[in-house]
Copies of this chain bind each other. A is one copy, B any other.
Amino acid sequence: MPDPCVAGIDIGGTKIALAVADLEGRIIEQKRFPARTSERGPHAIIEEALSEIERMLGSAGSRLDAVGIGCGGPLDRARGLILSPPNLPGWDEFPVVQIVEERLGVPALLDNDANAAALGEHRHGAGRGYRHLVYITQSTGIGGGVIVRGELVHGVCDGAGEVGHMTVLPDGPVCGCGGRGCLEALCSGTGIARRARERLAAGASSALSSLSSEEVTARAVAEAARAGDTLASEVWDEMIHYLAVGVGNLFNALAPEAIVIGGGVSEAGEQLFAPLRERVRERARMLPPEKINILQASLGGDSALHGAVILAQAARARRAEPTS
C-alpha cells in the first residue's frame, strides 16, 4: 500500500511552487515553475500544478491525503476563493479549493501567503519553538501573520496580520490601499525604490545616478548603501527608522517572543537587522532590551511553501475528525 502524503501549493505572481511531503510535513520533493499568470489564466496554471503533483506522487509511490494552498490576498478563505489579487490579473473569484478537491478527490485548505509563511517559519524556520510570534514579509509589498499560543490569528474577515497597512507616519505618502503613511508605502521594496528615485529626480548625486529608473531597486539601494553611497544610505536609514516604528508597535501591542522578517528586502541580513534591533529597543521600552528578539527568516523563498504543507496537514486532520 502506498505511503500517505500531503501536497502544498504556493501561488505567486510570477511563479508556482509545489511540494509533496510526508505526514510529518517533511518535504519529499519540491518544484518551482514560472506561472506567466496573466497570459494563461488560472485554470491552465492550476491544471499544470495538479498534473505536476500527480507526477511527483507517482515517482514517490505515494497516496495523496490533502492539499494546502497559499496565495496572495484578498481571499475568501471560508469559501476557498481567490478574489482578484493585484498580482494575479484574471483570478477573479477563482474557486481554487473546489477545483483542487474535485480534481484530486482530497480536502484542500487555502490561506494567504503571508499567513502560510508565518506557519512555515513557526514550524520549520527561524520561529521554531516560539508559541507567540509575528512574521513579517518585507518584499514588493509588506504582509504578515500573527501566531498566538501556537495558532494563527485570522481576525474578522481574515484581516489580522495586515501589518503593511499600519500607519508609521500619519501624514506620510499615499499607499496603494488609499491610506497615508502605511508601513508598506515607506518600507516595501517598491517603497524603497520609489524614495530613492524621488531623490535622484530631485538632482541628488549618487552612485545610483548612472542606473536607469528600472534598475533603481531596493536591492540596488542596499548595495550602494553598503558601498557607502550617501543617498542610498539615507534612503536605507530612513526605511529602518519607519520599519522600527511598525515593529516596535507590534512589540508594544503583543510582546511576541520573536518577530521574524522574511522577503526580498530582509535578505540584506545584518545591514537591516542590526540597526533595526537598536531602533526598536528605543521604541518598545516597556520590554527589557534583551527580549526584543528580531530574527531573519530562515526558509528563504520557501516559507510559504512549507506553510502550504502545514495547511494540508490541517486539512487532513480536519477531515479525520469524527463529525458527530
Please determine whether B285 and A155 come into contact, CB atoms closer than 8 angstroms: no
Please determine whether B286 and A170 come into contact, CB atoms closer than 8 angstroms: no
Please determine whether B256 and A155 come into contact, CB atoms closer than 8 angstroms: yes
Residues of B within 8 A of A153 (CB): 132, 148, 254-255
> Given A146-B253, A170-B241, A253-B250, do A291 and B179 touch, yes or no (CB 8 Å)?
no
Proximity bits, A115-141, B CB within 8 Å = 1, else 0? 000000000000000001000000000
> Given A254-B160, A255-B156, A255-B159, do A167 and B287 touch, yes or no (CB 8 Å)?
no
Please determine whether B283 and A163 come into contact, CB atoms closer than 8 angstroms: no
Q: Which of B148, B170, B245, B291 contacts A156 (CB 8 A)?
A: B291
Please determine whether A177 and B146 come into contact, CB atoms closer than 8 angstroms: no
Q: Does A200 lie at the interface of the complex (its beta carbon under 8 Å from any beta carbon of B)?
A: no
Q: Does A282 lie at the interface of the complex (its beta carbon under 8 Å from any beta carbon of B)?
A: yes
Indicate the size class of the contact surface on chain A. 35 or more
Proximity bits, A247-288, B CB within 8 Å = 1, else 0? 011111111110000000000000000000000001111111
Provide the bound-state CA to CA distance between A256 and B254, in Å. 13
Please determine whether B132 and A156 come into contact, CB atoms closer than 8 angstroms: yes
Residues 144-186 (chain A) with a chain B CB within 8 angstroms: 144, 146, 148-149, 151, 153-163, 165-170, 177-179
Residues of B within 8 A of A177 (CB): 285-286
Q: Does A91 lie at the interface of the complex (its beta carbon under 8 Å from any beta carbon of B)?
A: no
Q: Which of B163, B167, B241, B252 contacts A248 (CB 8 A)?
A: B167
Q: Which of B158, B170, B248, B252 contacts A255 (CB 8 A)?
A: B158
Please determine whether A254 and B179 come into contact, CB atoms closer than 8 angstroms: no
Q: Which of A248, A252, A254, A285 neighbours the largest number of chain B CB atoms within 10 Å of its CB?
A: A252
> Given A165-B284, A179-B283, A291-B157, do A253 and B252 touch, yes or no (CB 8 Å)?
no
Please determine whether B178 and A285 come into contact, CB atoms closer than 8 angstroms: yes
Please determine whether A169 and B166 come into contact, CB atoms closer than 8 angstroms: no
Minimum CB–CB distance for A278 against chain B, Å: 14
Proximity bits, A4-16, B CB within 8 Å = 1, else 0? 0000000000000
Residues of B within 8 A of A241 (CB): 170
Residues of B within 8 A of A286 (CB): 159, 162, 165, 177
> Given A241-B170, A254-B146, do A282 and B156 touch, yes or no (CB 8 Å)?
no
Minimum CB–CB distance for A206 against chain B, Å: 24
Residues of B within 8 A of A252 (CB): 159, 162-163, 165-166
Q: Which of B165, B255, B282 contacts A179 (CB 8 A)?
A: B282
Q: Which of B146, B163, B242 contacts A170 (CB 8 A)?
A: B242
Interface residues of A (CB under 8 A from B): 132, 144, 146, 148-149, 151, 153-163, 165-170, 177-179, 241-242, 245, 248-257, 282-288, 291
10 sample A-B contacts, Cβ–Cβ < 8 Å, listed by A number: A144-B253, A155-B256, A156-B256, A157-B287, A159-B251, A159-B252, A160-B253, A162-B252, A166-B253, A254-B254
Name 18 extra pairs, CB < 8 A, besides A148-B148, A166-B249, A167-B248.
A148-B153, A155-B255, A155-B256, A156-B256, A156-B287, A157-B287, A158-B255, A159-B284, A159-B287, A162-B252, A162-B253, A165-B284, A165-B285, A165-B286, A167-B168, A167-B283, A170-B242, A178-B285
